[in-house]
Amino acid sequence: MPLTKPYYQISRQLEDGSYSRSGNAGYIDHPKYAVSPERRVRAYNILQKDFLNLLEYIEPADQNLQTFSYRTHELLMLACIEFEANCKSIFTVHNYVSKRKNMNIENYFLIEKSHRLSGYRIKITHWREGEKILQPFSKWETSHSLEWYDTYNTTKHDRVVTFHEATFEKMLNAICGLLIILTAQFQSEDFSSPSYYLTGDRKDNFYFAIGKYFLVEYPMNWEVDERYGFNWESLKGESDPFQKFDYASLAKQSK
């Protein structure tokens, strides 16, 4: 049976297979859904602006994927810091506290179960070879590691030795990874007026994402009992129309 209330900061497929039909994506705009989501979107938009500036010097092309510089390293760092901030924001709203002093990739992997990040794909249409499709969380289908996030940690702690690993490809996957975790919370909503969600702006199965540069394809294989089956127009009048995801129990099962 589909879920009768949405989770805080978790966007999911609706019972009818869409993500926003009949106004049922309106939960994303509700003031209790997320705390100051516009700040996280703004941080991404600033990062995307810096990325587009970098493209004046590095052509988006396959032959440049292994290019590295202080700028690719800087943007890799910033994207991963924002990725961590989004993960922690999700955990906070669901009252999940790790037993570890500092959270790591094992904690963040729990968000794969609630948001299905591995199912999102990003398309870059401004690519020298035609189009480029990235799936930054694809490894989470079989393991807990992420190569671009591992590089963030290694170059952060030992940049002298590992600086060459902060490549254009790793940076690009980190930026797209950040975009995906934002999309998995807010779809294409940038908290300006009017709201966007998934209305129009579609190319094949890809929709324009936050920032209107990248295109994103949403996972369409949620099980029926994991989808949202509410009528938002009826639900939104409740004092708290949301529910919490039980990350603590999920963490115990993962051990």
Domain ranges of the chain: 21-254
Give exposure, 77-98, as e/b (b: 16+ Cβ within 10 Å): bbbbbbbbebbebbbebbebeb
Could you read off the pLDDT of 36-71 as tens digits, one per residue? Answer: 999 999 999 999 999 999 999 999 999 999 999 999
Q: Within 10 A of 36 (CB to CB), how many other CB atoms are there? A: 10
Separation between Cα atoms, residue 235 and residue 26, nearest integer Å: 10
Separation between Cα atoms, residue 86 and residue 40, nearest integer Å: 8
According to DSSP, residue 209 is labeled: -
Percent of the chain clearing pLDDT 70 (strictly above): 95
* Helix 37-54, helix 168-186: angle, nearest 10: 150
How much is the pTM?
Answer: 0.94
